Amino acid sequence: MSGWLETIKMSFRTESTPNLSGIGMTSQRTRERLLGRLMDQGITSMEVLDVIRSTPRHIFLDEALSHRAYEDVALPIGFNQTISQPYIVARMTEIAFLSGPLTNVLEIGTGCGYQTSILARLAKRVTTVERIKPLLDKARKNLRLLGLRNIDFRHGDGSLGFKRSGPFDAIITTAAPQQIPHELLFQLNDGGRLIIPVGGDVQQLQLITRRGEDFQCDKLEDVKFVPLLVGQVQN
Ligand code: SAH
């Protein structure tokens, strides 16, 4: 392992983490392991790592699962949905912010609000769309608990994007369509980025960058997300 990586890891170990208290020393070690794991997997953005480090992932989970909150895995949140794996949250966020600070971000698939909380601490304004109303309500509560106020929660079908609040510097989709919904492309700013898993049983994370009326597509890595479904659910 290279020296600088070890140094970064050490600094994460020794700094105090006041806003992460709450579930004891055992999980403190697990959190440190998680940061190390993200770095080992190639996450290099200090901003992203720092926000992940200081975000209490356990508050997004039911108590019965909270002891697993700092494992690098997706976990169930009810309604057949999952909280995303920290690695993929870090990776998508890092890609979104590669070209610099972002003002206006759209997230599709709020779920419990974990990815939303990471985005909201890095971007000026986040709009997040979820099709399952009770999940959206829960996310709203979680994010209020964290004191995040720059988020606009919307109940609806995110495959349509959210044109009224666009255009966006970045759109992050946390559920996978079979094909990229065209509405999303035209809600990007010039230079804006869409980060989206695409496919069914086999999915690929794609980065679409808008250049005027052209869209450059980069295929990044294989991923596994829940499907992007049409329509919305009230209860
Ligand atoms: N962002 C979440 C991941 C949630 S899982 C996290 O940080 O953990 C993906 C979410 O996408 C689910 O809650 C699912 O209900 C939602 N979803 C699926 N299709 C959707 C659609 N068309 N519009 C909005 N949300 C959708």
Ligand 1 atom showing the smallest separation from residue 118 Cα: 7
Task: Please tell me the distance between residue 59's alpha carbon and the centre of ligand 1 in angstroms.
Answer: 18
Q: Report which of 97, 99, 95, 117 is spatially closest to residue 206, judged by C-alpha positions.
A: 95
pLDDT < 70 regions, the chain: 1-27
User: CB within 6 Å of ligand 1 — which residues?
Assistant: 81-84, 89, 108-112, 114-115, 129-132, 135, 157-159, 174-175, 226, 228-230
Q: How far, in Å, CA of 178 to CA of 161, rounded?
A: 16
* Three-state secondary structure call for residue 108: strand
DSSP 52: H
| pLDDT tens digits, one per residue of 60-81 | 999 999 989 999 999 999 999 9
**pLDDT value of residue 22:** 56
| Domain map (residue ranges) of the chain | 2-223
* Three-state secondary structure call for residue 215: strand
Ligand 1 atom showing the smallest separation from residue 158 Cα: 23
**pLDDT value of residue 19:** 41
Residues assigned a catalytic role: 84
Q: How far, in Å, CA of 114 to CA of 47, rounded?
A: 16
- b/e map of 159-183 (b: 16 or more CB within 10 Å)? bebbeebbbbbbbbbbbbbeebbee
Structural domain 2-223, CATH architecture: 3-Layer(aba) Sandwich (3.40)
Task: Please tell me the distance between residue 107's alpha carbon and the centre of ligand 1 in angstroms.
Answer: 9
Residues 36/42/48/51 CA torsion (nearest 10 deg) = -20
- Residue among 226, 233, 234 to mutate when testing ligand 1 (max atoms within 8 A of CB): 226
| pLDDT tens digits, one per residue of 111-148 | 999 999 999 999 999 999 999 999 999 999 999 999 99
Q: DSSP letters along 145-213, please?
A: HTT--SEEEEES-GGG--GGG--EEEEEE-SB-SS--HHHHTTEEEEEEEEEEEESSSEEEEEEEEETT
pTM: 0.90
**pLDDT value of residue 99:** 86
**pLDDT value of residue 38:** 98
Nearest residue (by CA) to ligand 1, atom 4, is 111
Q: How far, in Å, CA of 133 to CA of 114, rounded?
A: 16
